[in-house]
Amino acid sequence: MLDTLRELMGPFYLYIKFIHVFFVMIWSWSTAVAYSWYVKGAFVRWEKNPADSLAIQRRNWAIEQFDKGVVLEHIAFPVILITGPLLYFIGPWNLSFGWLLAKLAIVILVFVPMEVADYWLSHFGGNKEKLRKRNLPEKYERAIQLHWTFLKVSTPLITIFMPVAIFLAVTKPF
């Protein structure tokens, strides 16, 4: 049964790989400019002048917009998590391929926990616009500061592990 399914899906391997790689591109880079030039700048300025009303206003605007812009990344991630296992299933792959084992370890130990936190901070309980519109200023401020702490912790991790995961997948060094 599985072999028949694998044979039926075989001719679509490269199309699925195209979708996998295309969404890896979206996942990897869609928030880079917004974070580096809008969010980080606004928060660093606010950290230097925490009482400056313009700095607070810009910080709040930037992080609310970031909650919206991260939707691209958050659509791409599940597509990657669906197409990856499909490639694994159709292709000649198993966990004795060191590159794949190492890549999956990064996905499971770094990317998945990070994205779970990010989904919550951006779209669920931590969504800033929702908290502002519900007139919950304390929760709003706490969510903003929690998101900034998360970004300060997760950015170095993604800066290291995202290229490593792509390097492993493309070069398959071991």
Region binding ligand HEM by CB under 6 A among candidate stretches 19-27, 30-38, 60-68, 124-132: 19-27
Number of neighbours of residue 88 by Cβ within 10 angstroms: 15
Residue 37 C-beta: closest distance to ligand HEM, Å: 23
In the bound state with ligand HEM, the residue whose beta carbon lies nearer, of 50 and 92, is 92
* Contact status, residue 56 vs residue 43, Cβ threshold 8 Å: no
Residues 6+ apart with CB under 8 A from 174: 98, 99, 102
Q: In sequence order, what are the residues at sequence separation of 6 or more whose Cβ sits closer than 8 angstroms to the Cβ of residue 50?
A: 56
What mask, x for binding ligand HEM by CB under 6 A, covers residues 44 to 83?
Answer: ------------------------------------xx--
136: CB partners within 8 A, 6+ apart: none
* Residue among 71, 75, 160, 170 that touches ligand HEM (CB under 6 A): 170
Task: Check binding of 105 to ligand HEM (CB under 6 A).
Answer: no
Nearer Cβ to ligand HEM, position 122 or 127? 122
From the list 35, 64, 44, the residue with the least C-alpha distance to 151 is 35
Residues lying near ligand HEM in the complex (CB under 6 A) are found at: 17, 20-21, 24, 27, 80-81, 84-85, 87-88, 91, 93, 104, 107, 111, 165-166, 169-170
